[in-house]
Structure 1
Amino acid sequence: MSTRLVVVHPDPTVLAEAAAARLLTRILDVQSVRRPVHVVLTGGTVGIKTLDAAAASPLREAVDWSGVHVWWGDERFLPAGDRDRNETQAREALLDDLVASSGLPARNVHAVPARGVGPDDASTPEESAAAYAAELAAFAADGDTVPAFDVLLLGMGPDGHVASLFPGHPALSAPGAVVGVHASPKPPPERVTLTFASIGHAREVWVVAAGAEKAEQAAAALADGPVTEVPAVRAVGHDRTLWLLDAAAAAGRG
C-alpha cells in the first residue's frame, strides 16, 4: 500500500538543497540493490534549483551515473535549445556537466522530442508524445508501457497542476502513457506530458513546491480534493509519495 509523507523546510533554498540531497541519496540507495535507475525530472523554479544544488553536492560523485536514465514528466513543445524547455534548463543546471565529467551517457538522457523538422524532432505535440511513448516502452518491463521509475519529481502550480495536467483540462483523463496538450492555460499553449497512469507507475513520486501562492492547493491536494480542481491529488507513487514543501507552501494545512 502506498504511503504519504509531508516534509516541510523553512524556505525555498533549504527545500531545494534538501531535495537534491534526498534525490542523490535515493539514487545511491537504489543502486545498492538494482540497476539501472530511472529518474524523472521536473522544471520550474524549485525543480531547477534542486538540480543546481545536486550539481554542487559532493554526493554526486558517489553516484554511478553510467547506470542512471533521465526522463521528463512534461515538456513545453518548443524548438530544441529554447530557454523555456525544461530539458534546456536541466542540461545547464546539471546534466551537461554529468555527461562531460561524471560518466552519464548522453544516450541515457531521454529528452521529449522538440518542435522542428530534424530527424529527432516532431511537427505536433501528438507526434512528440507518440515518439516519447515509444522511447519509454523500449525501457519498460514486458507488459508495461513505461519503466518503473525509481523517483519521479513534480512541481505544482498555484492552480494545483502537476506536469502539464491542468484543472479541468481534457488531458486529465487521457489514456496511454504520454499525451499532447493544446490550449494550456499556462504558456506556451502546446506541451507534452506523462499521463496520470504513467505517473502512478513510479515507485516514488515527490511533489516539490514552495511559496505562499501554492498553500491553498497544497492543502486541497493533501485533503484529497477533486482531481478536476486540484490535479496534484493524483500525483501518487506506487510505493510512496513525498510532499516536499517550504513553510509558506505548507501554511494552508490544518
Structure 2
Amino acid sequence: MTRTLASRVIVLLLFLAVALPRVGASQTISSARLHAPWDELLHQYVTPEGLVNYQGLLDEEDKLLDYLLAQRKVSPEAAGWSAAEQEAYWINIYNAATVYMVLQYYPLSNVNDIRLKGKVHSLWEAPSVQVGGQEYSLNQIEREKLTARFQDPRLHFALVQGAMSGPQLLPEAYEGAQLAQQLERQTRRFLNDPARNVLAGAQPQLSSLFNFYAAEFGSRTQLLEFVNRYAPMPVAATAPIEFLPFSWALNDRQPLSATQALHK
C-alpha cells in the first residue's frame, strides 16, 4: 500500500463533494442491488469460518472503495425501504468501512496496531464514510443508526471489529428480507463457538462483548435469559460468570507474524 488512510479519506471526501445527488424518496434504489458489490467481495474473500483474505482483497480495494463512495447518493430513511432493509444497510456499511480501514494499514497482525496518523480520533471515532451527505464514524453508525433505533442486542454479533475474538464476518451481505434469520444465525453461532464462549461447566465464561455492552444486555438475569435462548444447555441462574480476554489479533485468513507485519 502506498497511500495512508488519511490520504484515502481526503480523496474520498473530495470525490463526495462533487458526486451525484443522493437517493431519496423520489429516487429509490433496490437495497439488494446497492449491496451487490459488497456481497460479491464477501463471497470471494471471506471463508465459511468468517476469516478474511485481506491479501486477496488488496487487489479489489478500488471495488470496495467504489461501494463506499456510492453511499454518498443514498438516504436510507428516505429511500422507501423497510426498517429491516435500513438496519441491514447500516450493518453492511459498518462492516465494509471496517474492512476498508484495515486494508489501509495491511499487512498487520493486530487491530490495535492501527494508529491514525495525525489524528486525535481512535479508529472507531474517526470519520469513516459519508452517507446521504453526512459523515459518520464507526461508533456513530453503531450507536446512532443501529443501537439507538433498533435496540436489538443481536447487532453486536453482526458488527465486526476485525478481531479474532469478535463476531465472524458473514460471507454474504445482510439483506432486509433475510435479516431476522441472519441475525439469529450469527448470534447462535457466536454464542456456541467455544473459542468465544464457554457455556458448559459450573463456571461459564462469556465473551467480553457481553461486558463491553453490559448496559444493552441488562441485568445479570436478563443476560442469562438472552444467553439461554441460544445455549444448547441452559446456564444455571446461580452460576458465577466470568468474561474471557478479548483478542484483537486480526481476523486474517493467513495470520502474519509480528516480524511480517509492516506497520505504516
Band the TM-score falls in, shorter-chain normalisation: under 0.3
TM-score normalised over the length of structure 2: 0.25
More strand by share: 1
